[in-house]
Amino acid sequence: MKFYPYKRLNRPIVLRVISASLKLPDGSRDHLDTSAYSVPQRTVALGVAQREDWVSARIGLSATLPPGATDPDAPWTDLRVLAVLTDGDTNVRTTVDLRQDTPESKEWSGEMEVLRDDHVGRADLAVHAVATVDGVPGRSITESDGDWTVDVVAEEPLGGLRLDVKQASFSRSAREWLRPYADAPWVVDASGRVPLVMINTDVEGFSDLLGGESGGIENKVHELLVSQMATDVWTAVFHSAVGDLEVEPDGSPVFPADWRGEVLREMLPDVVPGLRVEEALRQVHRRRTGDAGWVELQTRIHYAAVRRAGASKSLANVLRALQQMNREDSA
């Protein structure tokens, strides 16, 4: 624990990546979709476009300061919010100022330009709030609650949603709650500290297919199954996250502090597009607790889960492999 000889905020900044694009040699921009970055994993994978000729990347950032940061009677002045990208391999450090979205708002946003020639692998991205405290300028009053990783070569935000995956015989498991699902290949339990995926070993050959690397069409089927499981997981964790929200005295929902809040921040832009995540959460909460609109939202929730799971890519890979097999059989 660090001790400071001046007043600071006792809660961290919440940092999010909200967009990413690549500048190409001809000056055009390749705008990457949301699969290029993962909020739960706090990772940006700039290799998702699968091209080596990009010149720089522009990463859109949003930072939420804790309560009290912008209060008129706060014990500091000259507040600045800085995004800092640090690369230990190349000794490059890049700093940009974020802008306050509206006067007195806790939301700050901006863009970080990442030059391709300055980085060889992974760099750490953090946000710091600095101010003049007790007449001393540049003092840190709080920082982000965890660094993001910007990876200039990775093709996906490695790891995705953090899960606990276990295998068991559902029909004979000591976990009695599994027994009613004895004919299901897997189930998702989103009630714990991290989401739990239980694989049913009673389904003959299923565990071998999920864990094996036999090559050929089996690998493509493995990929498709994993994406289907991931779709179920993302759907389940979203419903878990919105199912037990705390609310402010005025009725506004509050983002959970654990993985549920991270899931909501990642999925809400696809569930309720065109709105800031705070307003999107309010709209989802109104629909879930109100008289109308919740059923209609299920299609958007499923769409957001499918995108996070990469189901379209997995299906396309299986179809290509089947087409190749058919061509070889007919040759």
Give the DSSP per-residue string, 31-67: EE-GGGEETTTTEEEGGGG--S---EEEEEEEEEPPT
> Distances in Å between the alpha carbon of 312 and those of 40, 57, 157, 235, 309?
21, 25, 17, 16, 9
Whether pTM exceeds 0.75: no
Tell me, what's the pLDDT at 210?
A: 67
Amino acid, single-letter form, for residue 314: S
All residue ranges of the chain with pLDDT < 70 are: 1-3, 40, 156-163, 209-220, 222, 331
162-202 pLDDT, tens per residue? 667 788 899 988 888 999 999 998 898 887 777 788 888 88
Instruction: Round to whole Å and give the CA distance between 71 and 258.
Output: 26
Task: Count Cα neighbours of 72 within 13 Å in the Cβ-side half-sphere.
Answer: 1
Amino acid, single-letter form, for residue 242: V
Tell me, what's the pLDDT at 141?
A: 93
Q: Tell me phi and psi for residue 58, to 5 degrees.
A: -110, 120
| Residue 184 near residue 68, CB atoms below 8 Å | no
